[in-house]
Homo-oligomer: A and B are copies of this chain.
Amino acid sequence: MTKTTLVDLQNRKDERQIGIDQVGIKNINWPLRIKEGKEVQTISSNIDMYVNLPGDLKGTHMSRFVEVLSEYQDKPISVKVIRSILMDLKKRLQATSAYMNVRFMYFVEKSAPVSKKKGFMDYRIEIQPFQNCEESEIRYKLSVPIKTLCPCSKEISKYGAHNQRGEVTLSAVCKDKIWITDLLKIIEDQGSCQVYSLLKRVDEKYVTEKAYENPKFVEDVVRDCAMSLKANSDIKSFEIECENYESIHNHSAYSKVVFDRRKR
């Protein structure tokens, strides 16, 4: 039996007349290439790829999603390449909308505040491009660990103040020229103090004292982030969340601000 005789069930008509908003592959692990300066690096990513399906077609063609991914294997990922992948998905699958979710760990070398010793900080990133006939946009999700120190605990206690690791998550639709590292920098500085992978004793002293001098509620963190994000006109809309892994509880404190420049 040759390929041509294998029936293409997916191409048949569907009687139910229910259009499908998103159909495709989910949770595929894939090596991506990214350009860092002159070097090209490989990173492990986790990807979803979807298109829409009109109400009169029985099914999409799942293998073509992976084929498209394979064809871009040697191209370092960029906004231009992502747009091109979505265009190919729409063409190959005869769709009018295409979506991706691309999740990966991003590393930035960061110096300790006093000793200047270097170590890597890790950030969870998700890029969510979307494209239909009229529109095209890219949503960036960044998760940034910070340190927060409770203003109330400091105010009411003879000494000390409870503090903890928090995680700020930004989800933003931006203009094309945005840099992930710029978004990270905006957020990273809005806790009571930044966190680092490598801290010598002089650094630990600095971090401890800085946090004590700079207490912030979970509400303060998202408000200060929101102020900085609103001031950047390259960011069209955002949701900013902070979750503090409270050191005095076994649950989190949480806060969220939503903003859309286009709806003002």
A interface list, Cβ under 8 A from B: 1-3, 6-10, 14, 16, 18-31, 41-44, 48, 50, 53, 58-60, 62-63, 66-67, 69-70, 104-105, 107, 115, 117-122, 145, 147, 149-153, 155-165, 193, 195-202, 204-205, 207-209, 211-212, 217-220, 222-224, 226-227, 243, 245-258
Q: Are A201 and B44 in contact (CB under 8 A)?
A: no
Also in contact, A22 and B256, with CB within 8 A (given A6-B201, A7-B156, A198-B67): yes
Q: Are A25 and B207 in contact (CB under 8 A)?
A: no
Also in contact, A219 and B59, with CB within 8 A (given A20-B257, A29-B122): yes
Q: Are A159 and B209 in contact (CB under 8 A)?
A: yes
A145-B250, A162-B208 are known; give 5 further A-B pairs, CB within 8 A: A9-B151, A63-B200, A67-B117, A70-B120, A156-B204
Report B-chain residues with C-beta under 8 Å of the C-beta of A151: 9
Q: Nearest chain-B residue to A22 (Cβ)? A: B256
Query: Which of the residues B22, B27, B199, B222 comes within 8 Å of A20, measured between beta carbons?
Result: B222
Give how many copies assemble into the complex: 4
Q: Are A248 and B20 in contact (CB under 8 A)?
A: no
- What are 13 A-to-B residue pairs whose CB atoms are below 8 Å? A18-B227, A20-B256, A21-B258, A22-B254, A23-B218, A23-B255, A28-B251, A29-B107, A29-B122, A29-B251, A63-B198, A67-B198, A195-B248
Q: Nearest chain-B residue to A33 (Cβ)? A: B41
Report B-chain residues with C-beta under 8 Å of the C-beta of A119: 66, 69-70
Report B-chain residues with C-beta under 8 Å of the C-beta of A246: 165
Report B-chain residues with C-beta under 8 Å of the C-beta of A27: 243, 251-252
Q: Are B18 and A105 in contact (CB under 8 A)?
A: no
Query: Which of the residues B48, B66, B118, B200 comes within 8 Å of A197, measured between beta carbons?
Result: B66
Report B-chain residues with C-beta under 8 Å of the C-beta of A50: 254, 256
A158 to chain B minimum Cβ distance, whole angstroms, is: 6
Q: Are A107 and B31 in contact (CB under 8 A)?
A: yes
Report B-chain residues with C-beta under 8 Å of the C-beta of A163: 160, 162-164, 247
Report B-chain residues with C-beta under 8 Å of the C-beta of A147: 162, 247-248
The 10 closest A-B pairs by CB, nearest first: A160-B212, A29-B122, A28-B251, A26-B254, A157-B208, A44-B105, A26-B252, A145-B250, A41-B42, A66-B198
> When chains A and B are docked, how far (Å) is the Cα of A198 from the Cα of B68?
10
